[in-house]
Each structure stands twice: as C-alpha cells, then as structure tokens.
Amino acid sequence: MARNDIATMLLDRIGDERLGLRTRAQDWSWDEVVRESAARGALAEALRADGPFHIGVLLQNVPDFIFWLGGAALAGATIVGINPTRGSTELAAEIRHADCQLIVTDSTGMARLRELDLGLDADRFLVIDDPAYLAAVAAHRTEPIGTSAGPDSLMLLLFTSGTTGASKAVRCTQGRLAAVAYAATDKFGHVREDVDYCCMPLFHGNAIMALWAPALANGATVCLTPAFSASGFLSDVRFFGATFFTYVGKALGYLLATPEEPDDADNTLNRGFGTEASPDDQAEFRRRFAAQLFEGYGSSEGGAVATVVPNAPAGALGRPAHHDVAIVNPQTLHDCPRAILDPHGRVTNADAAIGEIVDKRGSRNFEGYYKNDGADAERVRNGWYWSGDLGYIDEAGFLYFAGRRGDWIRVDGENTSALVIERVLRRHPRVIAAGVYGVPDPRSGDQVMAALEVADPDSFDIGALASYLTAQNDLGSKGIPRLIRLSANLPVTGSNKVLKRDLQAQRWHCDEPVYRWIGRDRPEYHRMTDEDKRELDDQFIRHGRESLV
C-alpha cells in the first residue's frame, strides 16, 4: 500500500529481512537499516537545539548517510546535503544559509569545517569515525522506534548544482519525496528484486529521489560506493549484482571513455535513469553494456513536464505531460512555434522555437526555496511555473530539452543552445567531456567558447577538430566555438556536471591551451599566446566593453 510520508515507509520495513543496504565491506537488512536510522534520529532529538531542526551532512556515499536520511525522517528533522566540491567561502555560506544546528561528517570533513566560520560550537559536530560518536549512537539503539513526522514535515534542503549561477536550497517535504518514489516506480519499473547501485552523490537529488526513495518504497537493495568511479563502475556492478543505477551530468561520458573490453556486456544491469546524456552516448552505452537507459527530465525543484512514450524520437523527453506544459518566450509570454527539424534532427528555426519550459497550471510540486523569496518569485510568475530550462516541441508534438536557461548564448542576434553544441562536441572520439558557454564578443553579444576534457591536451589534434566541426550537418555555423580550451581535468560539481560558471569567469585567462577560430575560407584554430590574450582584452576596451574584462 502506498504511503504518503517517508517516516511511515521506513516503519513498514521493520521486520523486513531482505537486504536493504550493501557496501563492499558489510550488509544490512531493511530491519537493521531502520533500527540504525532510528538510533541516529533519537540521538538528533537528544541534541536538538532551538531553531530549525536542520542537520547538515558532509559525507561521501557511506552507510551513515543512509542512516541519517532515515533518522531525520523518523525524527521530523531536515537533512541538508553539503556539497564537498564547493569552495570554502561558498561552503560556509550554504551551511549558514540552511541554519544547520548539527553537522554530521568524518575526520576528513571535520578538518575542513574547522577552518570555517560556521557559528557552531564544537558539540554541534558529529564525527562518524570518532569513538565518541559510535558510543552515542549505541546508547540510543534500545529506544522505542516511532515518529511524529508526517507528509508536511520538511525532509530535505537540496542545493542546486550552481553550474551556471548561484545555488539555491530547494525545499522537499516527506510527502513530496514519497510521491516521487511511487511515481518513479510506475515510470521506470522498480521492483523489490532490484539491486540499485548508488554511484551518484547522496547530497544531490538524483541519488535520493531517483534511487533511494524508490528502493525504500519497494524494499529493494541499495548498494553504495563512496564516490563515482568510471574505472570501478563495472567491477562494482558485477560485485553487487546491480540491476539499476542512476547517472547525471557527464558521468556517462566518463564511463564511455574507459577502454572497451570484449565482456563489457557481461553484467547484471538491465536499466538506468539519468539526465542530459546525448542520444549518441545513450546508444553507445546500450550497445556496450547491454542495458536500457531512461533519459528523462528532472530537477530538484520538481515539476513533471513530460510523459515517456515508446515511440519518441531519439533525444526527445516524450510528450508534454498535459496540455498546460508549453514552450514560452520569456520576453513576449507567447507560446513558441513548433520546432521544424531537418533530416539530422537539427532545429532549423531555433531562434523562434526554443524557449523556456513552462507549466501554466502553476507551481504544483514546487515547494519553494529556503529563505529566498526573490528566487520563489522568479520561479512562479504570471501564475505559471517557470522551469528555468530550455526546450522545444516538434511538429509531431514531442518535447525536447535544450539546456538550462543560463545556457542561452546570444550570437549575432540569435539564440543558440549550449547543450546542442555540447552534444556535437561529445561525439568526437577524443573528447571525454565538454562544457559550452558564452563569453562576451568584443563588439556586442556573445561568442561561443567550449572547454573540452581530453586525455592529453598537448597532443590533441586541433586541426582535426576544426575539420570535424565544419563537417557536422547538425551544427550551424553560429554554433561552432570561436574559442576552445583544452583540459585534462575539467572542474565539475559533485554530480559530475561541468562547472561552467567558473570556466566562463576565467574565459581565456588560464594556464591551459586556448585556441581561437581564425579561419574563414579555410577554417582553423590558432593557439593563443599571452600577447594574443592581451590583444583580445584590448579589443574590449577599444569597443567600450572594458567593464567585461
């Protein structure tokens, strides 16, 4: 029977002897998971102070993270996932903004937090590899298990990834998370026999909403790895006998960059769910690993905008979930015309057809941001829910994702989607990951810049890349990057999304190779020297755009 809150779903697992949690070192039944969770919930209640009952968790994917998710649900507390990839200033600001009164971490995390001004006393930190913590948990294991929480209890504050702008803390109640769990079960066929491999970070909504919550709803097994590893992925899948996994960002690209082996398809996976993988990467994963992928649309804020249908073209999310899901021009508030696709699937009227995905029924599942009225007002305007994502609907009525709103690049008066360009770049056999973003053109508007992760930037054949780009039928001339940055290790978020806002701020001011498009009749890239970079900066000054330098 479907439950409407996470706490009750956990209580239903008392006495369930099926494996609920596995690592390479230890297993726990669902009954044991609930009891470990309850002990931590009781510890949190014993330590509770005045103010919001918010518990920050700075951990890798270790069992204690799972136990604290359950413990917070039973205690009616809120888990704040802390992203370890944040810089110190941003990390401290997010912890303070979320009003964390307790922080759960390990000795490595504590060494970092100790240097920050968080406004918390020493007894507000629980260090999981400290014997005192283990003793405190043990002291609460005999307490009765129950809950006073319900559907309206705030379960999570999920910070957005902040790839193209400042991150925000998304509110998620137990009721909403429970509804997500059952919706995912129906959509992606979760069953009790599933073995769910959790390789995406638990501080991110993908791992909690698309894997942990459905596993709880069905009594499936959750398997943890501390952090995503492309080289260790298949070994983990085989060790656990995993049947399902989730991915986000560029993780699929990193997997496909590992050397192919003849027995890659010899594994137990049957399906996976994720977002923002190109149709080419999806097809290659299916071929190589013999598992079905469900590429969907998702955000921490919520908002179901698409219905998966079996006959959808490659790259489509499906059909709009209902007739009030529309593609809207943010300036005119008018619906965008249908996208006209050429034989290669390229949108021929992108400037008109691509707009923001909007639900005209209103906010629905969006429960707001924590202490951010301005962001709430931006998300819900004109009585509509604005997803913050770009998309288009083709003439057959299929909905497509075209990137985040921050991915609009205005080139020569036309809007260009960074996601479309990234997909073309990712098809190049030597490109592991790609991030595309706009940098100011010296005269007006933007020019396209791309940062590419490759195995060896110094030996990468930039001339071959230029020839490749001009030969792609699904890439318009305005989409060809005018600047290319090569890197052996692009900066990414904890969920493996390329951190484009940092790259955008640096532009060509970096120690890595940067190439500029100088060709016309014979297109080619020229590696920029320090003098070239100064000359480009000078162009901004000459054209009155010095404030952008």
d(CA 230, CA 250): 11
pLDDT at 364: 74
Length of the chain counted residue by residue: 549
pLDDT at 419: 85
Evaluate if residue 207 carries a pLDDT over 70: yes
pLDDT at 519: 66
pLDDT at 280: 81
Strand partners, 347: 341
Evaluate if residue 546 carries a pLDDT over 60: no
Read off the pLDDT of each residue in 215-219 and give the average, rounded to a whole number. Answer: 98
Sheet with 154-159: list strands edge to edge: 125-127, 100-105, 54-58, 78-81, 154-159, 169-173
pLDDT at 545: 52
d(CA 458, CA 453): 12
Q: Which amino acid is at 79?
A: I
Domains belonging to the chain, first-starting first, are 6-227 (3.40.50.12780), 306-407 (2.30.38.10), 412-548 (3.30.300.30)
Q: pLDDT category, 342, cuts 50, 70, 90?
A: confident
Evaluate if residue 530 carries a pLDDT over 90: yes
Percent of the chain with pLDDT over 70: 95
Alpha-helical segments (H) within 162-232: 174-188, 205-207, 213-218
User: Tokens standing for 306?
Assistant: 């698409």
Q: Which amino acid is at 417?
A: S
Closest C-alpha among 111, 132, 151 to residue 47: 132
d(CA 529, CA 8): 62
**Tens of pLDDT, residues 132-159:** 999 999 999 999 999 999 999 999 999 9
Strand partners, 386: 358
Angstrom CA distances, 50 to 25, 313, 517, stand at 38, 53, 59
Q: How many CA atoms lie within 13 A of 192 on its CB side?
A: 7
Strand bridging mode 195-198 / 408-411: unpaired
Percent of the chain with pLDDT over 90: 65
Which of 146-150, 440-444, 469-473 tops mean pLDDT? Answer: 146-150
SS3 of 277-333: CCHHHHHHHHHHHCCEEEECCCCCCCCCCEECCCCCCCCEEEEECCCCEEEECCCCC
Least confident of 246-250, 434-438, 465-469: 246-250
Closest C-alpha among 435, 497, 488 to residue 460: 488
Closest C-alpha among 66, 73, 68, 55 to residue 225: 66
Angstrom CA distances, 317 to 17, 237, 340, 341, 394, stand at 38, 27, 17, 16, 11
Read off the pLDDT of each residue in 285-308 and give the average, rounded to a whole number. Answer: 83
d(CA 497, CA 437): 13
Read off the pLDDT of each residue in 321-341 and give the average, rounded to a whole number. Answer: 92
d(CA 439, CA 545): 12
Evaluate if residue 441 carries a pLDDT over 90: no
pLDDT at 548: 43
pLDDT at 315: 81
**Tens of pLDDT, residues 363-411:** 778 899 999 999 899 899 989 999 888 899 999 999 998 887 777 787 7
d(CA 465, CA 482): 12
Mean pLDDT of the chain: 90
Evaluate if residue 191 carries a pLDDT over 90: yes
Contact 474, 341 (CB under 8 A): no
pLDDT at 316: 87
pLDDT at 305: 80
Evaluate if residue 325 carries a pLDDT over 60: yes
